Amino acid sequence: MSYLTKDTITDVHPVYAKHLERWRYFWASFNGGFDYRNSNLAMLRRYMNEDQQPGQQYAQRLDYTALENSCKLVVDTYKAFLFRTLPVRALGNLNKLPYTEDFINDVDLDGTDIDQFMKEANSIAMIYGHAWILVDKPSTTSAITLEQEIAQGIRPYAQLISPENILDWSWVRLNGRYVLDYLKQKEHEDEKSLIVRVWTNETICRYEMGKEDNAQLRLIEEIPNAIGQIPFAMLKANPSHTRGIGNSDLADVAKIQQAIFNLMSEAEQAIRISGHPSLVKTASTDAAAGAGAIITMDETLPGELKPFLLQPSSANIDAIIKVLKEHQTMIMKMTHLEAVVGQKTVAKSGVALQTEFSMLNTRLGDKADSLERLEHKIWHLFQVWTGVQADDDFLVEYKKKFDLRDENNDLANYKTVREMNLPSSTLNKELDKQIARIVVKNGDALDDIVDEIDSSDALARPETDVPGIAE
């Protein structure tokens, strides 16, 4: 039994305290927009003495500087590859349960189907390093029949929870495996109160603590844990050496994105300043700068005192742009996306491109494997709540081989071989099908084209028509 007190309700795990600021940094980096610009994490660095200068220069720079959101690009690109082909599900006897279909189509009781739910889980994990998933079932105050549960919509559901809302936890080793034996979840927080839920293997307790002076801790609810375990699963984007967390895919990307954001501000400043020369004049000279401006001055004024325009150098703009491009390339390289979304400013060998695709395929395969294990855990907890064990026909399988390649290079190679008119109708048909798979992305149309190639003799040159081949 683990009860909270007024002094312990706000306690957090040491790992949580250590990582909270960086988690918020990753989240802000992914979201971009207004929150990124105005974050207290100071994404845009201030110039020395900028605040002491008149005119709100810093606020203007924030407003004028464009953000290239590389963090969102990385997360969304991986998600697009991972879920280009949706997972295969064969649920066996679980399909006979009256609420299995509802669970698939509305897994979180908020209208999200299970595929979209898994996409969101993957995104949260890539941002924070890991995501928590709760598989719960609404509690009832009295015993009711299965028919009554169905009528009232009482069934298992899944909830995706940000690491920011899992405040504390502990693990124990059971039968050689680590399992949760304590978890504290922040359910709600506003200016007035904090509500937390504490899970143990024996009980589930909900607490509320007001934020006014001398506020008292209140136990809202205490119920037995009906399944005798803490029904949380975890998806890790990348393994870590610390139990209970994963490593974010944005750990390095976010910092480079911030550097690009600041370089963009520098470039904007340099362009603005170099494009608007400063007018230098004496205090007594009537002068102004800009189109249509007129300068009036005494004809006897010495030459060295005559007004002139001071033109700042623009030489540093090219240097800034060069560093910007290097940073952009760095992000693509470290995420293995250079070959698919990066700017190919430098010609690469086929070996180099193949290496990039191989590394990306490996990363995608690892993430698909993690997603598959997570969904197996979700369905396991679904079975625990329903009391029905899946039979041998149960299957959940994610695509783990992506075979991403340099299609332009492949197309050129296929075309070269096809034009050789080798004396093999089978080979030529196969080359035509490979070309079709690259050119045509519509699945139904592609199937028709492949069938046409298989059934046609015209596409393949007869062996007897090839010069030098004896009949």
Tell me the average pLDDT across 244-257.
96
- Phi, psi of 219, deg, nearest 5: -85, 105
How does pLDDT run across 101-120, given as a tens digit for each residue?
999 999 999 999 999 999 99
Based on the number of CB atoms within 10 Å of its own CB, is 394 exposed (0-12), middle (13-18) or buried (19 or more)?
A: middle
The pairing of beta strand 166-174 with beta strand 203-210: unpaired
Considering just the CA atoms, what is the radius of gyration of the chain in Å? 31
Residue 231: which of 141, 284, 301, 157 has the closest Cα?
157
Measure the CA–CA gap between 234 and 160, rounded to whole angstroms. 10
Tell me the average pLDDT across 429-458.
77
Poorest-pLDDT segment among 43-52, 172-181, 190-199, 366-375 = 43-52
Q: What torsion do the CA atoms of 288, 291, 293, 299 make, to the nearest 10 degrees?
A: 90
Q: What is the pLDDT of residue 142?
A: 67
Neighbours of 436 (CB within 10 A): 17
Q: What is the pLDDT of residue 197?
A: 97
Q: What is the pLDDT of residue 181?
A: 95
CA 133, distance to chain mean position in Å, is 17
How does pLDDT run across 375-433, given as a tens digit for each residue?
999 999 999 999 999 999 999 999 998 876 656 666 777 778 878 888 888 888 888 88
CB of 436 closer than 8 Å to CB of 446: yes
Residue 201: which of 230, 166, 179 has the closest Cα?
230
Q: What is the pLDDT of residue 139?
A: 82
On the question of pLDDT at 33 being above 50, the answer is yes
Strands, E assignment, 324-446: 395-397
Which residue reads 């855990």 in tokens? 377
More confident residue, 14 or 440: 14
How does pLDDT run across 260-295, given as a tens digit for each residue?
999 998 888 777 766 556 556 666 566 555 544 555
Q: Under 8 Å CB-to-CB from 81, ≥6 apart: which residues?
A: 364, 402, 404
On the question of pLDDT at 461 being above 50, the answer is no
Q: Which letter does DSSP use for residue 296 in this model?
A: B
Q: What is the pLDDT of residue 397?
A: 96
Q: What is the pLDDT of residue 456?
A: 78
Q: Under 8 Å CB-to-CB from 326, ≥6 apart: which residues?
A: none
Tell me the average pLDDT across 120-142.
93
Does an H or E element contain 262, and which?
helix 253-274
On the question of pLDDT at 463 being above 50, the answer is no
CA 395, distance to chain mean position in Å, is 27
Range among 116-130, 144-158, 286-300 with highest mean pLDDT value: 116-130
Give, in degrees to the nearest 5, the angle at Cα 405 between 427 and 367.
130
Tell me the average pLDDT across 33-46.
86
Q: What is the pLDDT of residue 403?
A: 73
How does pLDDT run across 218-244, given as a tens digit for each residue?
999 999 999 999 999 999 999 999 998
% of the chain residues with pLDDT over 70: 81
DSSP states along 78-103 = HHHHHTSSPPEEE-GGGGGSTTHHHH
- The pLDDT mean for the chain works out to 84
Q: What is the pLDDT of residue 470?
A: 39
CB of 435 closer than 8 Å to CB of 415: yes
Q: What is the CB-side half-sphere exposure of residue 224 using CA atoms within 13 A?
A: 5
Q: What is the pLDDT of residue 266?
A: 86
Based on the number of CB atoms within 10 Å of its own CB, is 12 exposed (0-12), middle (13-18) or buried (19 or more)?
A: middle
Q: What is the pLDDT of residue 292?
A: 47
How does pLDDT run across 311-363, given as a tens digit for each residue?
555 667 888 889 999 999 999 999 999 878 755 545 566 667 778 888 999 99
CA distances 430 to 426, 448, 466, Å, are 6, 15, 18
